[in-house]
Structure 1
Amino acid sequence: MTEHHALWFNALTTKTSPEDVRDRALVSGEGCHVTDAAGRRYLDARSALWNAGLGYSNTAVADAVRAQLDQLPVAQLIRHDQPPQVSLRYAERLVAVLPEHLRHVRLCSTGSQAVEGAVFLSRFVRILQGDPDRSQVIAQHDGYHGIGGLASAVTGEPELHELHGPLVPGVHHVRPWDMEELRTALDRIGPGRVTAIILEPILGTGALEAPPGYLEEVQRLCREHGVHFVVDEVSTGFGRTGTLTVTEELGLEPDMLLLSKAISAGYTPLAAIATTAEILAGALARPDVVFPHGSTADGNPVSAAAGLAVLDELADGVVLENVRARGAQLTAGLAALPSVLRVRGRGLMLGVDLELPAEAVAELRLRCREAGLLVSTAGSTVIVTPPLVITAADCDELVGLLAVCLAPVTA
């Protein structure tokens, strides 16, 4: 199929895509809608890949990007000592809105890179402390932490592991939200060999939320054994659940907090590893040794400018209130549809479990696209993650379109 396109992208390898997708290529967007090359308009209930938090026509972010392109379009943070001023300002603004114990941020380009950076940073600190054998990591099955040599190893999807071949070793997985299995794994590996436990507060693979008290107990366990507690909020952070972070909402104090996707509204690549002062001190313990992680575009001025604009857009709380209100509206509307077993998640990170086989739900996704609604699916679940600025009318449209598309599938 790839012979029809110079661009190789993942959808070309799926059985549900025609050989030529040029007429479906997206050409414009406004609000929560996108339009393809054939003029068809879609309500995007997946926010691109969960990152178009402010929709497709936010003038504040777009203007900030344009202004920065005119002033200083390129700079770097990896070497030497002249960071872009806008990146310094962004870091200061970002830590000001994060939980108080997180005082420093390392800027990256993608969520996967932030995950890898966090694990490498945890191991790096142990090495400088003279404890290099403390390198093992515990993550969860069905957790999603991106794709890459180490990120894929942390992601809890066995199929992905098989397709990637040998991955970075030292990562162990336990069942989601199973405290007994987590304790057993910690004892089996040896608490003194585990450097970090990393997890999402809501699983990105299906909007499955941690049960009450679980995250707090993991944090307590980490404190007891000196393990770094890493919370991955690449998907949930910056408004997706109706709060800036689930971490702050629950009063958690992780050693590292990972952010990406919505922090730049998806307009530019941006991610962040927020750390405690203790983690930074550990990484700077030897002035002659620099933390060996980063890439050319990390913390670039254009992305930092976009990040600043997003902070401004979220500052008055209006967007977050909209997420809570529209999330409640969608939850009620979706729960009333036929074949819906339950609606999970919070805010605008929802999983709609259907009483249908996975094959029928895959067909439903295609029917939705033909009807003008873009959704994601995972097994028998429809994932609904629209932009944070979705309107009440948009929500009515979303529920109505899904109802129409469900009818022939459930008949």
Structure 2
Amino acid sequence: MSKTIAALLKERAGENFQLHDEHLNTQMVRVLKTIGYDRVYTRAQGPYLYDDKGNEYLDLLSGFGVFALGRNHPAIVQALKDVLDAQLPDMVQMDVSLLSGILAEQILAKCPPNLTKAFFCNSGAEAVEAAIKFARYTTKREKIVYCEHAFHGLTLGALSLNGEEIFKEGFGPLLPSVASVPFNDLASLEKALQSKDVAAFIFEPIQGKGVNLPDDDYLPQAQALCRKYGTLFVADEIQTGIARTGKFWAIEHWNLEPDMILMAKALSGGFIPVGAVAMTSKIMDAVFNRMDRAVVHGSTFSKNNMAMAAGIAALQVIEDEKLVENAAKIGGEIIDGLTAMIPRYDFLKQVRGKGLMIAVEFGSPDSLLRKAAFAGLEAANKGLFSQTITIPLFKNHRILSQVAGHGMNVVKFLPPLVVSEKDRDWIISAMDQVIADTQEVGGAIKDLGKNLISHALKAKAG
């Protein structure tokens, strides 16, 4: 190379927003500048980001769950260096690689015993696409059922199972023969399945958009209904899986045995895209049932050695550092600490979640003055109040978080699984101060509300 990456980073430092405005998503640049998130991050370690001024930020998004082990974990870095140093043959295609076999063996050992086969791909959305195809071929049925408010990805098939209309608008027609049912509604699910034409019921054990938890009996009974009507029971664990909820799989909270588990995000170790489908032998053998069908579904970059090594290293780190246990402990303490604030703050309605997948829900208060302020924000743009939490949390306390979904006043925390007791205290203290500020109608709501309402009204007018 005539110019090294290190030289490019030094020479073009600080041009992030200019380059994205000119050559990538201009609207994303506008959003970040409007809400004051236009920082230039220069390095990252564990759960922390550092900007060009040396400020430290606590990242409670973790790349939407990709950086479950934190950023730049040394064990993952070393595994990737080992692969590069080994100069292995990679993606020979007319071959089967050793590392993919090892990762399949290790991930299946973490699954319910009925799941004995694995398929690798590049992302969560690809895992969903594979599940749709495998379910249809195995059952000889076409219809797929999913839950309202679900999020399964943004490629065409996955998008067809998306419960949020904002993501679908203008991209149709989508897949035919799909149907949604309300989450947590067994009667509606049985009605959808009883015609015996449904290939699969694809569900998130905990819905990512809103962090919606099922009733205790919902998923076990949903599994029984799928068995009754010959429908495959498919768990989308792309965000909830791999230690996130204080269990290795979220399905363990309900002792489920799905026909497929879809995974990605945390399996990557935060470096190399990887996704996978764990499935029964019956499904694998149905799809790849003859030698001439050995390549009927695949993905060019799947099973590449870097991705497989990252996955193997990630599983080892989770075990060595007891991150399942840490997620359960620290997550539970954060939920308890935030829940304790509810009697003090009338905007704060509920704190829910499992492990380190946490939602904090806000709503209209009892005070007439605060109720009017809340209503003003909601009239401008539904869900706008939540920004009076996330923006000062970022600006004043250097904590990066997100709204849990479009048009909802739910703030979501998805921290790296390596967060410590110090980080727990940072989160609870910052939230206490930020929520307290919203109680003062002349404070956070007035200042941020005025700015956000102005931008929301301009957007509507445009």
The TM-score normalised by the length of structure 2 is 0.81
Look up the match of 2:169: 162
Question: What is the Cα-based RMSD across aligned positions, in Å?
Answer: 2.3
Cα deviation for residue 267 of structure 1 reads 2.1
Letter in 2 for 1:104: K
Look up the match of 1:299: 303
Change (3 A) 1:225 1:147: same
Instruction: Measure, in 2, the Cα distance between the counterparts of 1:88 and 1:344.
Output: 38
Q: Deviations over 1:130-179 (max 9, x none)?
A: x3xx1100000111111111011112112222232221222110111111
Is 1:76 the counterpart of 2:91? The answer is yes
Instruction: Measure, in 2, the Cα distance between the counterparts of 1:4 and 1:320.
Output: 37
Q: What SS class does the counterpart of residue 196 from structure 1 fall into?
A: strand
Cα deviation for residue 74 of structure 1 reads 6.7
Instruction: Measure, in 2, the Cα distance between the counterparts of 1:217 and 1:39.
Output: 52
Larger Rg: 2
Q: What SS class does the counterpart of residue 92 from structure 1 fall into?
A: helix
Is 1:275 the counterpart of 2:279? The answer is yes
Q: Quick check: 34-43 or 220-229, which moved more?
A: 34-43
Cα deviation for residue 6 of structure 1 reads 4.4
Q: Quick check: 34-43 or 151-160, which moved more?
A: 34-43
Change (3 A) 1:159 1:73: farther
Q: Deviations over 1:54-113 (max 9, x none)?
A: 112421111101211222467227x42x13211111111111222111111101111011
Look up the match of 1:119: 132
Look up the match of 1:343: 351
Is 1:24 the counterpart of 2:39? The answer is yes
Letter in 1 for 2:47: C
| Conserved 8 A contact 1:125-1:279 | yes
Change (3 A) 1:349 1:11: farther
| Conserved 8 A contact 1:199-1:230 | yes
Look up the match of 1:284: 288
Is 1:59 the counterpart of 2:67? The answer is no
Change (3 A) 1:147 1:394: same
Letter in 2 for 1:367: P
Instruction: Measure, in 2, the Cα distance between the counterparts of 1:288 and 1:3.
Output: 47
Q: What SS class does the counterpart of residue 156 from structure 2 fall into?
A: coil
Cα deviation for residue 288 of structure 1 reads 2.2
Look up the match of 1:200: 204
Look up the match of 1:373: 399
Instruction: Measure, in 1, the Cα distance between the counterparts of 2:203 and 2:31.
Output: 32
Is 1:12 the counterpart of 2:28? The answer is yes
Change (3 A) 1:136 1:397: same
Change (3 A) 1:309 1:175: same
Q: Quick check: 391-400 or 283-292, which moved more?
A: 283-292
Letter in 1 for 2:145: I
Look up the match of 1:396: 425
Identity %: 31
Instruction: Measure, in 2, the Cα distance between the counterparts of 1:320 and 1:397.
Output: 21
| Conserved 8 A contact 2:21-2:29 | no
Spell out the pairing of 1:10-409 with structure 2 (5 A cutoff): 12=28, 15=31, 17-18=33-34, 24-72=39-87, 75-76=90-91, 79-80=93-94, 82-126=95-139, 131=140, 134-187=141-194, 190-191=195-196, 193-290=197-294, 292-316=296-320, 318-337=322-341, 338=345, 339-355=347-363, 358-371=383-396, 372-378=398-404, 379-409=408-438
The TM-score normalised by the length of structure 1 is 0.91
Change (3 A) 1:149 1:317: same
Instruction: Measure, in 2, the Cα distance between the counterparts of 1:285 and 1:246.
Output: 31
Q: What SS class does the counterpart of residue 163 from structure 1 fall into?
A: coil
Cα deviation for residue 335 of structure 1 reads 1.6
Unaligned runs of 5+ in 2: 1-16, 365-377, 441-462
Cα deviation for residue 16 of structure 1 reads 5.3
Cα deviation for residue 294 of structure 1 reads 2.8
Instruction: Measure, in 1, the Cα distance between the counterparts of 2:29 and 2:133.
Output: 32
Q: What SS class does the counterpart of residue 28 from structure 1 fall into?
A: strand
Instruction: Measure, in 2, the Cα distance between the counterparts of 1:296 and 1:106.
Output: 13
Instruction: Measure, in 2, the Cα distance between the counterparts of 1:24 and 1:111.
Output: 28
Q: Aligned pair count? A: 399
Q: Quick check: 315-324 or 8-17, which moved more?
A: 8-17
Change (3 A) 1:363 1:313: same
Q: Quick check: 64-73 or 298-307, which moved more?
A: 64-73
Letter in 2 for 1:227: T
Cα deviation for residue 19 of structure 1 reads 11
Determine which structure has greater relative contact order: mean sequence separation of CA pairs < 8 Å that are 6+ residues apart, divided by chain length. Answer: 1
Q: What SS class does the counterpart of residue 113 from structure 2 fall into?
A: coil
Instruction: Measure, in 1, the Cα distance between the counterparts of 2:69 and 2:327.
Output: 11
Instruction: Measure, in 2, the Cα distance between the counterparts of 1:107 and 1:283.
Output: 15
Q: What SS class does the counterpart of residue 226 from structure 2 fall into?
A: helix
Q: What SS class does the counterpart of residue 27 from structure 1 fall into?
A: strand
| Conserved 8 A contact 2:233-2:260 | yes
Q: Quick check: 274-283 or 10-19, which moved more?
A: 10-19
